[in-house]
Amino acid sequence: MKNKIVELIAANVEGLTAAEIADLIEIPPKPELGDFAFPCFRLAKTMRKAPQMIANDIKEAIGDVDFLQEIQVQGAYLNFFVKKELFIETMVTASMADDFGSSTEGNGQTICIDYSSPNVAKNFHVGHLRTTIIGNSLYKIYSKLGYKVVRINHLGDWGTQFGKLIVAYKAWGSEEAVKKDGVAELMKLYVKFHEEAEKNPELNDEARAWFAKMEHGDEEALKIWQWFKDISLIEYKRTYDLLGMDFDYYLGESFYRDKTDDVVKRLTDANLLTESEGAKIVNLDAYDMAPCLILKNDGSSIYATRDIAAIFYRKETYNFVKCLYVTGQEQKLHFKQVFKVVELLGNEWAKDQLVHIPYGLVSLEGAKLSTRSGNIIYAEDILLEAIAKIKEIINEKNPDLPDKDETAKKIGVGAVLFNDLYNQRIKDVSFKWEKLLNFDGETGPYVQYTHARCCSILKKLDGFTPSADIDYSVLTDVEAMELLKEINRFPKVVKDASERYEPSAVARFAVDVAQAFNKFYNACRIHVEEENVRNARATLVYITKKTIKDAMELLGIDCPEQM
């Protein structure tokens, strides 16, 4: 319908392309202002006339059109009122399609997303929860747009910290304690190392020596390191299981350890490496950036070196059109440096194909979390606590619900995910149980509840499914039309979310649809006598249910049928 209006305007104005017109067209905030609006300000300059006059002229030029009820001029705006029956018909048909919201824009091209990526031997904390949730949602969004998405977990599993850990383990650790307490014990050992190294700095040399052993393939060193890594992965995977998330590759930093020599060679050949206090760096003064460190003065590679190696590996292996990195904002400079170095090596594509996607902090104030030990917040504990709290609510309000555990898990985990994704990515996320578990606010449980409500309505109609012989043109109530219009934004919302790397657009859409549905449900009875009206309204319930489910799926959230 919008396209038809774009064509109509394009045929009657000069100086704007169809694409520009499409961009300018708005969906009016109120139904009194029509179904589509076209502002004429932009034309004022080229046409040298007041926008309102232009609007009148265009209206005049268009004249009568078969699919339009009327065109009104309001100030500088042309408001288009589409013939209701036709409009309803197109919207219902579009949203009913199985692939509603999907597109083929990606055409099978590959996008790599580097996300989650916790640091081995450290806990999976709330910060890593954000990258995991946002990265997973971007994966779903790009898949829906026809891209092949490669999900990469770039584990922090290499570096001098493992030398320290081995020293600490050998001095103060035991196999039993590590087996028993896992990552928590490894973190204790790491802290202990730093305390002891204050008093006894030689420990740092020992640690360096152990890491050097690792880098040279020493069997004992690698065996201990691998064990630490396995233990950590078991814990991380528990969290991923709770979240219902998975990766295509766990390729941590260690995977690139034999690929950093090549980086050094490329940089040397391109004359980009300079020496600074024994270290090797790429000078980035010309770009107003601190230099990018490539090799430390002991010749070992660092985080950035391995990231550069990973870019070449990924480009060669997956031939991505984009490689996205979801991490906290504090890594902004790191990625700017790394991307610049790759570009300086003669890779123009680095300019727009490598994208850092930063996000804000998590504020735990008001969360009152029970912690395992000290103040360390494990993502897993947050999820388990959310599930437990939801279970309490269910036991109180709906004790006979079947699959209580499964449902509590979907709602609890969904609430945490939604709370994160409803926020604009770059903003800090606050964590307040009362708010995020509320069934009434702009929350995951609220959207899920609306979905469950749709399911129950349809169930009461004997599992109604739409059929071809229903006449939808009876859906003319304002609330029904508003709901349909809301739902029909879905394809645009998905696209917009992908362009801005902003899953919050989808989360907000889900709330908008849920709110529009609840208005509709309050205003229009569904179980009415007249069969066609009943069926048409039931169809709207069906479409709402389906669209909410699909939108939530893009956020990584499952909607239970009953709750």
Letters for 258-297 (x = contact with ligand ARG by CB under 6 A, - = none) are ----------------------------------------
- One residue of 69, 102, 119, 204 binding ligand ARG per CB under 6 A: 119
Whose CB is nearest to ligand ARG?
156
Nearer to ligand ARG, 69 or 331 (CB): 331
- One residue of 117, 353, 423, 544 binding ligand ARG per CB under 6 A: 117
163 contacts 222 by C-beta, under 8 angstroms:
no
The C-alpha atoms of residue 339 and residue 316 are separated, in whole angstroms, by 16
| Interaction of residue 558 with ligand ARG, rule CB under 6 A | no
Number of H helices, E strands in the chain: 23, 13
224 contacts 189 by C-beta, under 8 angstroms:
no
**DSSP per residue over 150-216, as a string?**
EEEE--B--SHHHHHHHHHHHHH--HHHHHHHTHHHHHHHHHHHHHHHHH-THHHHHHHHHHHHHHT
528: amino acid identity, one letter:
V
What DSSP character marks residue 125? B
Per-residue b or e along 9-36, where b marks 16 or more CB atoms closer than 10 Å to that residue's CB: bbeebeebeeeebbebbeebeeeebbbb
413 contacts 241 by C-beta, under 8 angstroms:
no
Span interacting with ligand ARG, options 116-124, 280-288, 382-390, 452-460, rule CB under 6 A: 116-124
Nearer to ligand ARG, 117 or 136 (CB): 117
- One residue of 307, 420, 482, 550 binding ligand ARG per CB under 6 A: 307
Q: How far is the CB of 117 from ligand ARG (least distance, A)?
A: 4
Q: Which tokens sit at 83? A: 């013939």
Q: How far is the CB of 150 from ligand ARG (least distance, A)?
A: 13
78 contacts 68 by C-beta, under 8 angstroms:
no
Q: How far is the CB of 142 from ligand ARG (least distance, A)?
A: 18
Contacting residues for 492 by C-beta, under 8 A, at least 6 apart: none
Q: How far is the CB of 359 from ligand ARG (least distance, A)?
A: 12
**DSSP per residue over 456-476, as a string?**
HHHHHTTS----TT--GGG--
Q: How far is the CB of 312 from ligand ARG (least distance, A)?
A: 13
- One residue of 90, 112, 114, 141 binding ligand ARG per CB under 6 A: 114
Nearer to ligand ARG, 193 or 325 (CB): 325
Nearer to ligand ARG, 114 or 558 (CB): 114
541: amino acid identity, one letter:
V
Q: How far is the CB of 353 from ligand ARG (least distance, A)?
A: 15
- One residue of 158, 325, 359, 490 binding ligand ARG per CB under 6 A: 325
| Interaction of residue 257 with ligand ARG, rule CB under 6 A | no
* Site for ligand ARG, residues 457 to 476, rule: CB under 6 A: none
Nearer to ligand ARG, 310 or 481 (CB): 310
Q: How far is the CB of 296 from ligand ARG (least distance, A)?
A: 18
Helices 332-344 and 303-318 cross at an angle (nearest 10°) of 60
> How many residues belong to the site for ligand ARG (CB under 6 A)?
9
| Interaction of residue 156 with ligand ARG, rule CB under 6 A | yes
Q: How far is the CB of 331 from ligand ARG (least distance, A)?
A: 7
| Interaction of residue 154 with ligand ARG, rule CB under 6 A | yes
Q: Which helix (H) or strand (E) holds 309?
A: helix 303-318
Q: How far is the CB of 125 from ligand ARG (least distance, A)?
A: 9
The C-alpha atoms of residue 379 and residue 244 are separated, in whole angstroms, by 14
Per-residue b or e along 530-543, where b marks 16 or more CB atoms closer than 10 Å to that residue's CB: eeebbbbbbbbbbb
Nearer to ligand ARG, 22 or 376 (CB): 376
Residue 439's φ and ψ, nearest 5 degrees, are -80, -5
The C-alpha atoms of residue 520 and residue 538 are separated, in whole angstroms, by 12
Nearer to ligand ARG, 79 or 239 (CB): 239
Q: How far is the CB of 256 from ligand ARG (least distance, A)?
A: 10
Q: How far is the CB of 37 from ligand ARG (least distance, A)?
A: 44
| Interaction of residue 206 with ligand ARG, rule CB under 6 A | no
* Site for ligand ARG, residues 179 to 198, rule: CB under 6 A: none
**DSSP per residue over 86-116, as a string?**
HHHHHHHHHHHSTTTT--STTTT-EEEEE--
| Dihedral sign from CA coordinates of 458, 463, 468, 471 | negative
Nearer to ligand ARG, 313 or 464 (CB): 313
Q: Which tokens sit at 348? A: 């123009």
Nearer to ligand ARG, 51 or 156 (CB): 156
The C-alpha atoms of residue 309 and residue 312 are separated, in whole angstroms, by 5
Nearer to ligand ARG, 239 or 539 (CB): 239
Letters for 395-434 (x = contact with ligand ARG by CB under 6 A, - = none) are ----------------------------------------
| Interaction of residue 327 with ligand ARG, rule CB under 6 A | yes
Nearer to ligand ARG, 380 or 558 (CB): 380
Summarize as ranges the residues that interact with ligand ARG (CB under 6 A): 114, 117-119, 154, 156, 307, 325, 327
